[in-house]
Amino acid sequence: MGNDFLCPYCKGKLNIKGNILLTIKKENGQRGLICLSPKLGNYKTETHPDFKLDKGEELKISCPMCHANLAALEFNEHLAKILMVDSNHTVYEILFSGIAGEHCTYKIKEHDVKAYGEDSNAYMNYFGESPKF
């Protein structure tokens, strides 16, 4: 069994057929769906061919079921948060950038932070005094 990814608000499962499905809203107000890889550190995305993302564009990320804003405001307005439940039923917070083309993801359990992506240093100072890698 693989990992399940959940909305932190409605606890709905976000993963379907090997992807994480989220709703996004671009700066110009255009809305669409995005598929993300469930493999932490893999930044391959899929959207509808007519829904183009510009590098550096800020995206508002929402749950496709309850429509809750997934911004991780307790850390930084540019990060989004979902939950991951592994095969041992351990729950992790997964934070990732809401800036198109910015590659950073964080897997958090209590005070342990594991960072992924070449841009991961951008937000490390938001996770407390001494994150463990």
Q: What is the pLDDT of residue 128?
A: 64
Instruction: Please report the sign of the dihedral spanned by the C-alpha atoms of residue 86, residue 126, residue 56, residue 73.
Output: positive
State the residue for tokens 């598929």: 35
Assess whether pLDDT exceeds 60 at residue 129.
no
pLDDT digits (tens, 9 = 90+) for 87-100: 999 999 999 999 99
- Rounded-to-integer distance, Cα 28 and Cα 8, Å: 26
- Rounded-to-integer distance, Cα 92 and Cα 29, Å: 31
State pTM to two decimals: 0.91
Mean pLDDT of 73-90: 95
